[in-house]
Structure 1
């Protein structure tokens, strides 16, 4: 693998230069703002704080990818996203469902075969090929929301809202290249903005759930 190989996967990028994707690069501030805002609201909640740190890393990694646009930067972009998903699965399984830590850890492990099985199916959706790897995520969130509808209705509602925002962000991510002739600057920047909102909101959902519990755990 050539870690310095140039990557050109977005409508806005016209050449390999650092600022060839100014809108895509700058809108990563949405992740940073959401992370800082939620950090201040998550006092005493270890996993919420950890999610804030990872969310900040998502913004940094995505900025690197949309400026350097090389393989190593792509890795820096993707890894924090995966880590955020895994931490949230652990937190949601342990604290929304009141499960032991080992069961929550097992749920984290199960995400890998789950995503590997469903991603190819999402790739069969016309126009969704470029975003198919992310498709299993909102589906999983909706599944948790449905399962919690009676046990924790407010949390379930919050999860459903978060999943809906993620779906909208995936829509804009998917139409970036197809609409390139119509919108030269693309639509990928809306993926950043909406995802920043969605991931910050998901931390807020977790925070509210934890504060509503008789015993507050990290």
Structure 2
């Protein structure tokens, strides 16, 4: 079946009742929040001379996510949807691959992390571009983010297991993601009660989660494998390489 890349799509979100560039004003404008946060973060990183290829790659992808989301919620066509989902799943796949790479033995970490990254990216794109209503999706298309949940659990497990100093921030980010997932899922079911929908709140809480992750990356960029700290009993506690590996991809 041939995909029509230019035909406007309606009925995807509660706020959009008809075709038109400003058919989703709240969804469109809230998409740009992550762009603002990313630019502020980039300026701070440059000023503090904490620039690494990994951090800049994540920041660039975050700007692309906000831009693509804005295009999707204004043009609302298949090509615009592609500009939305490609940077999202590139970000998730890159982050997931970095985490998996740090959690495995060096002999297998590289091939497994690469395979995981491609798997997450491919699954995310496939689920994002499908016709959700044809497959019984009753939660506003949120099932497409199941691969992202895998990355969240993988990250959380490693950070918790190693008692990384960013544990509290990562926990906050996970909680914000769960809240944003709820807002996204309730968009269509609550449409009669809330005509504007709840999708824009998905953007807001996701932006907050990204901001927390950014703070974690900037606050703990140099945590080394053999770093230690003395507790009350003088016991040595090892901190992992998670943030250093992620920020130096």
Shorter-chain TM-score above 0.5: yes
Deviation at 1:96, TM superposition (A): 6.7
In 2: Cα distance, 1:102 partner to 1:10 partner: 39
In 2: Cα distance, 1:68 partner to 1:34 partner: 23
Alignment: residue pair count: 214
**117, 123, 130: which is aligned to 1:108?**
117
State yes or no: 1:31 paired with 2:34.
yes
State yes or no: 1:158 paired with 2:169.
yes
Contact 1:144/1:156 (CA < 8 Å) preserved in 2? no
Structure possessing the higher relative contact order (Cα contacts under 8 Å, 6 or more residues apart): 1
Contact 1:141/1:160 (CA < 8 Å) preserved in 2? no
CA 1:209–1:105 in structure 2 vs 1: closer, same or farther (change >3 Å)? Answer: farther
State yes or no: 1:168 paired with 2:179.
yes
TM-score in terms of structure 1 length: 0.83
RMSD: 3.0
Which residue pairs with 1:134 in the alignment? 145
Deviates more, 1:87-96 or 1:71-80: 87-96
Structure with bigger gyration radius: 2
In 2: Cα distance, 1:196 partner to 1:102 partner: 31
Deviation at 1:201, TM superposition (A): 2.3
In 2: Cα distance, 1:179 partner to 1:47 partner: 39
Deviates more, 1:132-141 or 1:28-37: 132-141
Deviation at 1:206, TM superposition (A): 3.1
Deviation at 1:88, TM superposition (A): 0.9
